[in-house]
Amino acid sequence: MIYLGSKARIVGEILPIMLQSIHPGQAFVDAFCGGCNVVQHVPQEYKRIANDNNRYLIAMWKTITTTNWNPSTAISKAYYNNVRESWHKNDGKYSDAEIGWVGFMGSRNGRFFDGGFSGSTGGRDYINESVRNINKQIGQLQGVEWQTGSYDQIVIPPGSLIYCDPPYKGTTSYSTARNFDYDHFYDWARQLKRDGHIVYVSEYNMPGDFSCVWEKSIANSVNPTKTYTAVEKLWMV
């Protein structure tokens, strides 16, 4: 799914490294699953758990992967505005799954209403691109156990691998991630390790007791004429 902070471009490199640490039957827990661009590639022989604290996102994923739900693929600006207003007011007019669907399929860069209505411009139909993208994931996400809440509330089976892709420190891009407490997150990861789990983290920088096991410079385009390079890293506790 087109998603802010998607790991679609690096999953082919980081996932084989992580999967060396567990065997089929053990659980792969994607603690900040977002667009599910990582967990979708974990083979189904592993128990797969996906969590995110955006309840509309998880309602959308759960409904679209476990029922015959056929959400509208024609998202007009008026429909988008109605759903956004209802989400703001929390008036219960639309289901959480529908709010997630309209918010993620209809917003620029998969930014859940923060991005504003995408629609179609310059010969591109952005909503259609988003819908085609998510439709390709549905088959690969069969059997995933969905959880929603903060990462530190996830129910984790013994001896799991936990992949953490939190909002990058210094960014405030997710409506659900204002005031993210990084020290609490580091302590939670350390405790998981003491409890016998394996913990990987995608971040630019981490405290000294985490070791970087992979890194690569990736060019990101801000717009057609402006790109910046960031060093993506995978860490292990």
Ligand X SMILES: C[S@@+](CC[C@H](N)C(=O)[O-])C[C@H]1O[C@@H](n2cnc3c(N)ncnc32)[C@H](O)[C@@H]1O
100 forms part of the interface with ligand X (CB under 6 A): no
- Shorter beta-carbon distance to ligand X: residue 82 or 190: 190
Site string for ligand X, 46-75 (x = CB under 6 A): ------xxx---------------------
Dihedral (Cα; 218, 150, 72, 84), 10-degree rounding: -100
Shortest Å, Cβ 202 to ligand X: 7
* Position among 14, 15, 27, 34 found at the interface with ligand X (CB under 6 A): 34
Shortest Å, Cβ 152 to ligand X: 7
Q: Where are the beta strands (DSSP E) in the chain?
A: 27-30, 47-52, 120-121, 124-125, 145-148, 161-164, 198-202, 211-223, 226-236
* Position among 100, 103, 106, 167 found at the interface with ligand X (CB under 6 A): 167
Token pair 């087109």 is found at 2
Q: How many CB atoms lie within 10 A of CB 127?
A: 21
6 forms part of the interface with ligand X (CB under 6 A): yes
- Shorter beta-carbon distance to ligand X: residue 52 or 232: 52
Cα 70 versus chain centre, distance: 22
164 forms part of the interface with ligand X (CB under 6 A): no
- Angstrom CA distances, 89 to 84, 149, 170, stand at 9, 21, 29
CA distance 71 to 73: 6
* Position among 3, 101, 117, 200 found at the interface with ligand X (CB under 6 A): 3
Shortest Å, Cβ 225 to ligand X: 25
